[in-house]
A = this chain, B = another copy of it.
Amino acid sequence: MRVAAHTDQTVHEILQSMVKKGWRITEQRRTLATLFAHAEGYLSPRDVYDHMTKKYPGMSFDTVYRNLRLLSEMGVLEQFYLNDGLKFKARCQSHHHHHLICLTCEKTYTFEFCPMPSVPELPASFDVVSHRFEIFGYCSDCKQSRKQEKEADKEDE
């Protein structure tokens, strides 16, 4: 199956969504948009804060949270509860698909197969609204590092 690196929303698309909603484009929001447009996986509020404060040392956590929440409500970002808390990434706007998610680096890889068409008939009494299908594992990069760790462990014995 064709599995693509995550296709991002462009910075421009994200900023456009903000403008459409009548929100102001501040320096920080521009940087935030750039961050998410280029991110390959899920980011925690902490990740975002750390990244932003490098450029804007005065930036506060509540501004990060405020913008994450606003962008989520707007549909620009999607949330996902991963291992150790809520994470965010730019929602794929293009088309419906699912993800491979690396348990180590939390990068996502798009794949096109959707199981819903092959699901046998569900009870008519249940109104289907949405579904989720994710495959978890280790991407080639992280698999590599895990392998090396194991070998290092053996040497210790």
Contact = CB atoms under 8 A, between A and B. Distances in A.
A43 B132 CA distance: 21
Interface in A131-157: 131-140, 143
B127 A119 contact: no
A115 to B, nearest CB: 3
Q: Oligomeric state, in number of copies?
A: 2
A136 B122 CA distance: 12
Q: Secondary structure at chain A's binding surface: helix, strand, loop or mixed?
A: strand
Interface residues of A, number: 34
Nearest to A82: B81
Q: Which of A125, A128, A130, A139 has the largest count of B CB atoms less than 10 A from its CB?
A: A125
B131 A143 contact: no
